[in-house]
Amino acid sequence: MTTVGFIGLGIMGAPMAANLAGAGYRVLGYNRSEAAVRKLAEQGGQAAGSVAEAVREADIVLTMLPDSPDVAEVVQGPDGVLANAKDGTLLIDCSTIRPDVSRELAEAGARSGVRVVDAPVSGGEQGAIDGALSIMVGGAEADVEAARPVLETVGKTVVHVGPAGSGQTVKAANQLIVAGTIELVAESIVFLEAHGVDTEAAVKVLAGGLAGNAILDRKAAGMLNREFTPGFRLELHHKDLGIAQAAARDAGVPLPLGSVVSQLVAALVARGDGGLDHSGLLKLADELSGKPNRS
């Protein structure tokens, strides 16, 4: 039986770990807050009291943590993954972090006998619950193939996109597209409401044409009700747009539209709305049109 050490049992990690346990993997789960570990133990996993405990017996370690410093600490820290993993362990980092940090982790892993792939995901909490995530994987061919059975348990579309760090670069592009699309859907809702259009009917017909997209399909209904429970928090999207901006700067590529939406997300986070779902961009669109009471 393959043993998976799973670190980071939050909105995404908890259902991913539960799906792995449900598929017959032995899952040793660790999270900073204990309640999440207890919940995994009720769902067929086993509780680990530290990173070291989750990792020592693992053939595969999966991390699903918020940001680059969290992953760097958990992986490279004195009590971290590299210090405790068996020789030849495969580390799959599913967090969304900076591509340069993923490349550094792959190099540090190679020095410690740990194979590392970056495998950020898209599909949100529901995709994680359904085991239907889209996963963009960076790393050496053989390591990505070794990671595939685990990734195909938590995801439906698993694509090797290039060497270490490439998964994160593709994920940054994903986050640009998602933020830009949410903003355009939000502006369209405000525009349609200002004209007194039946917005539910409008969303239905728009979703069937060239303007159709996953935000209209999955988020527009909640947006029409001004329901912004996360899902994916604005503060995490703020982090991701920072990653995209920095990576674009490294490559000498401007992101004009992406920069505008980055600033709108930054404004929402700065004023304390970072805990809302990223569809909360509509709240700002309402206010910019003088309709603050809609949200």
Task: Return residues touching ligand NAD (CB under 6 A).
Answer: 7-13, 30-33, 36, 64-66, 70, 73-74, 95-96, 121-122, 124-125, 231-232, 236, 240
Least separation in angstroms between CB 202 and ligand NAD: 26
What's the token pair of residue 44?
């067929």
Q: Which residue, 33 or 293, has its beta carbon nearer to ligand NAD?
A: 33
Kindly name the residue from 39, 86, 156, 171 that is annotated as catalytic: 171
Closest residue by beta carbon to ligand NAD: 10
Least separation in angstroms between CB 50 and ligand NAD: 9
Least separation in angstroms between CB 234 and ligand NAD: 11
Q: Which residue, 59 or 235, has its beta carbon nearer to ligand NAD?
A: 235
Q: Which residue, 206 or 244, has its beta carbon nearer to ligand NAD?
A: 244
Smallest CA-to-CA distance from 41 within 21, 25, 24, 23 is with: 21
Least separation in angstroms between CB 188 and ligand NAD: 22
Helical H runs in 23-140? Answer: 34-42, 51-55, 68-76, 81-84, 99-112, 124-130
Smallest CA-to-CA distance from 107 within 116, 119, 99, 120 is with: 116
Known catalytic residue: 239? no
Helical H runs in the chain? Answer: 13-22, 34-42, 51-55, 68-76, 81-84, 99-112, 124-130, 141-154, 166-194, 199-207, 214-218, 220-224, 234-251, 256-268, 281-288
Q: Which residue, 36 or 202, has its beta carbon nearer to ligand NAD?
A: 36
CA–CA dist 37, 28 (Å, integer): 9
Which residues are annotated as catalytic? Answer: 171
